[in-house]
Structure 1
Amino acid sequence: MVNDGEWDRRSLLRGAAVLAGAAATAPLLGGAATAAPAGSGDADALFKAGRFEQAGRAYEKVLRTDPANLHAARRRGYVGLLANKFPDAEKYLKLAVELAPGDRDAHYFLADCYIRQDKFSLSAPHWQAAGEEAYAKWFAAVRGEPYQIHGDTARLPWQQIDPIPLVEASVNGGPPKRFMFYTGAPSLSVRASVAKEAGLSPVASQKIGYENGVIWAYCGVLDSFKLGGLELRNVPVGWSSTESGEDVDTDCDGLIGTWVFYHLLTTFDYAGRSLILRRRTPETARKARAAAERAGAEPLPLWLAREQYLHSGGSVAGASGSRTGVVGVNFGGRGEMAAVVFGDTAERLGIRSDHDRPIGTFAHSHPAVTYPCYPERIRLGDAAAEEIYCENHPEAELAPFGFDVPAAFFHSFFKPYNITLDFTDMNLYIARGKAT
């Protein structure tokens, strides 16, 4: 998990790093390290452009003529995983593992596929094969059904919105604690003092270089996490401490990440300053679609890459043109920018950037430099903002997940809207004003 004392890209501390205040302006994850073989060029081009359904069909065509094509099998499984189409994902990722038992990327994707379905025991050996020993220990330690949901609905008022949105939740039946939420983080995380108060015991731990120091990361299993009228039981949880055992951060008591939200039908009601959580059922999904239609919100695609990174379809425009495609969407967290523009996107589109005012920040605990920029327009469905403050991150990789992501939208962009995430049909709905 640690390379030369640095923070591994899939460390248990990703959620804890955000909790500790490391602004995650861009994911620093790479795509598959193996080169694509000849014959998959058209499929790869479609995938890189975010045309995932067409890419999936193209990879299937490659496999019909070349059944031993590891790259095509792994990519076809990844396409299924992006849309939570688990039978497709499992079929092709299992094929990839059969073709190359030592392929870490195939094992990683298959492990992720299993944890999304709460098949933790099946995920553990694949985390191990992917080199993720702490994850393997963590998920192997969860006994019984994880994320058991009790109750139907919770509407949590935000205790504050800036600099970080906070809601109240109870840990193992204790008094209310203040939790931030951020979909750029995977798991539920708590402060070390909260873990001690709740009687948590680690099932795995690691010493990690973090910013300019060292901290310890732990993972365990929480008996009860209560969010208003909803209670989650048997929940994976992480925490971190300094070498002396002190809290790494005291801004809040914990962080709620994407793994919690994709077990529920979640509405981030920015306009209404509330977090609405409902049990995921066909009926709640139908009601969400109906409410979105009444508000005039069209369903947008929702894609989930590498455990927690949410994406949809959007656009960014500058003086020299615009670009429509896959964009990141990040709810909660901290930061004043409405979006981060990646790679050479700002230069290509003629987006005004202030290079005289560099911003020293961190992207997943790694030092990064961004610059204020002001796109002519950024858009997600019918939601748009013009000349709004954003940041240009020219050193960021444009295709960190194998497909191009020219920009990612953040906290400030969403403030006039409410956004519902449907992880069953993999749709995102965004509408102006408060949620009904």
Structure 2
Amino acid sequence: MTDGKWDRRSLLRGAAVLAGAAAAAPLLDGAATALSGGGDADALFKAGEFEKAGRAYEEILRKDPENLHAARRRGQLGLLAGEFPAAEKYLKQAVRLAPGDKDAHYLLGDCYLRQDKFALCAPHWRAAGEEAYAKWFAAVSGEAYQVHGDTARLEWKQTDPGPLVEASVNGGPPMRFAFYTGASNLSLTATVAKAAGLSPVASQKVEFEGGSVWAHYGMLDSFRLGGIELRNVPVGWSSTESGEDVGPNPDGGGGMIGTWVFAHLLTTFDYAGRQLILRRRTPETSGKARAAAARAGVEPLPLWLADQFLHSRGSVAGADGSRTGIVGVNFGGSGGESAAVLFGETAEKLGVRADYDRPLGTFAHSHPAVTYPCYPKEIRLGEAVAREIYCETHPQAGLAPYGFDVRAAFFHCFHKPYNITVDFTAMRLYVARGKAA
């Protein structure tokens, strides 16, 4: 949030211009604050105790059905967990209580977007002040993200500084694409978009690394990833004022694959096997993933999705103790050597050794940021663990960009010994050591 308002552009512009993953925490200003009647429910929400918070907000609404804050937060909880009927119920209630509330419209628009109900999401983006997004999704016709094929195994053509896979656009020759779950939609370079004959249905000028670029939005007929083809895909691309690609593209890559693509598939990010495994997303494939994890003795981890950002439950430890809670989990991108980024005062409070004499100037979602090398005693995601590994601390980053504390985000280097299956049907993560079967 910025001054209490949701700022989608600050979240998505990094994806639109194919930004990397370094220190890529969502840099929204400040934590969401309780408005009225929140009390313990807000404290539970902030601490990541989502089930307890949900019950507490429901109790508030039983006593005070006109409580906007409780309705909006309860709807947000449903959206985080992919529980769309509950999310719609409470967010519609919030919009009814306050038709001009941009936060409620933003969340309800995102709820419809997650379900591919584009005609329904467009008016809420408009009410939230996101005219370009409203035009983009109002222009979608027919079924988006049509999946053809059942399985694809994509060998990584490069692993560091970030993995690359091959894909083709509108039946053209294979070209290299990055992928990153800190990005939202499928993004192309301006050169590839032009070659594919794309015309924008909406455009906006956005800030990027001290300057500005044009972000364009349209629809792509076909995007093929090995044995799986997606048709009628929402796509973005960015250009300079003169229409050229934004930044250098030395390997001639086609662009970046973001979370919205993976959310329509059952995806295994097989770091140990250096491959991306994509399967058609159905209740059956979700059940098979759960059964395979159980046979391997892998405990499922919760998955929460805020905008395009994946979260689960993990821990960070230093000399003065450890803290378990909500952590960001990011796959792909150009994460460099850092296994995780610790936010706010996390490193200091836990006694994590940090080198404040060696600041690192970087960007996070196109905003300037300064991080510092640090070395936690341990970072953990389920059974996946790294000890005394190089990380970064970002003291200026807010802990609660979505209203709940996120003390760390795990990146590319942390995942290398493992394969991770992301199941958006059951909203679970499965982390296993070694190559995927």
TM-based fold match above 0.5: yes
Q: Which moved more, 1:283-292 or 1:197-206?
A: 283-292
Name 1:273's counterpart in structure 2.
274
Return closer, same or farther for 1:159/1:325 CA change in 2, 3 Å cut-off: same
Question: What is the one-letter code of the residue matched to 1:298?
Answer: E
Alignment counterpart, residue 114 of structure 1, candidates 112, 115, 123: 112
1:109-151 C-alpha deviation (Å, 9 max, x unpaired) = 0000001100000000000000111110010011011100001
1:306-350 C-alpha deviation (Å, 9 max, x unpaired) = x20100000000000000010000000012210000000000000
For normalisation by structure 2, the TM-score amounts to: 0.95
1:96 aligned onto 2:94: yes
Return closer, same or farther for 1:13/1:178 CA change in 2, 3 Å cut-off: same
Name 1:302's counterpart in structure 2.
303
State the distance in 1 between where 2:352 and 2:106 align: 37
How far apart are residue 281 of structure 1 and its match?
1.1
3-state DSSP of counterpart to 1:205 = strand
Are the equivalent residues in 1 in contact too, given 2:34–2:42 (CA < 8 A)?
no
State the distance in 2 between where 1:327 and 1:22 align: 16
State the distance in 2 between where 1:20 and 1:84 align: 26
How far apart are residue 24 of structure 1 and its match?
4.7
Name 1:322's counterpart in structure 2.
322
State the distance in 1 between where 2:48 and 2:20 align: 31
Name 1:399's counterpart in structure 2.
400
Question: What is the one-letter code of the residue matched to 2:298?
Answer: A
Q: Could you tell me which runs of 5 or more consecutive residues in structure 1 were left unpaired when the two chains were aligned.
A: none
1:227 aligned onto 2:225: yes
State the distance in 2 between where 1:312 and 1:80 align: 15
Alignment counterpart, residue 52 of structure 2, candidates 54, 62, 65: 54
3-state DSSP of counterpart to 1:332 = coil
Are the equivalent residues in 2 in contact too, given 1:20–1:248 (CA < 8 A)?
no
How far apart are residue 32 of structure 1 and its match?
7.8
Are the equivalent residues in 2 in contact too, given 1:134–1:205 (CA < 8 A)?
yes
State the distance in 1 between where 2:31 and 2:117 align: 24
State the distance in 2 between where 1:10 and 1:106 align: 18
Are the equivalent residues in 2 in contact too, given 1:32–1:105 (CA < 8 A)?
no
Are the equivalent residues in 1 in contact too, given 2:32–2:403 (CA < 8 A)?
no
State the distance in 1 between where 2:294 and 2:21 align: 38
1:75 aligned onto 2:73: yes
1:130 aligned onto 2:128: yes
State the distance in 2 between where 1:302 and 1:114 align: 19
State the distance in 1 between where 2:40 and 2:313 align: 21
1:22-48 C-alpha deviation (Å, 9 max, x unpaired) = 7352111357867420x3211001100
Are the equivalent residues in 2 in contact too, given 1:271–1:418 (CA < 8 A)?
yes
State the distance in 1 between where 2:420 and 2:299 align: 12
Are the equivalent residues in 2 in contact too, given 1:270–1:418 (CA < 8 A)?
yes
Name 1:156's counterpart in structure 2.
154
Identity rate of aligned residues, in percent?
76
Are the equivalent residues in 2 in contact too, given 1:421–1:428 (CA < 8 A)?
yes
Question: What is the one-letter code of the residue matched to 1:70?
Answer: L
3-state DSSP of counterpart to 2:310 = strand
State the distance in 2 between where 1:21 and 1:242 align: 18
Return closer, same or farther for 1:227/1:31 CA change in 2, 3 Å cut-off: farther
Q: Could you tell me which runs of 5 or more consecutive residues in structure 2 were left unpaired when the two chains were aligned.
A: none
Are the equivalent residues in 2 in contact too, given 1:154–1:278 (CA < 8 A)?
yes
Name 2:25's counterpart in structure 1.
26
Shift >4 Å, 4+ stretches: 30-35
What is the number of residues matched between the two proteins? 429
Return closer, same or farther for 1:315/1:342 CA change in 2, 3 Å cut-off: same
Name 1:371's counterpart in structure 2.
372
Question: What is the one-letter code of the residue matched to 1:197?
Answer: A
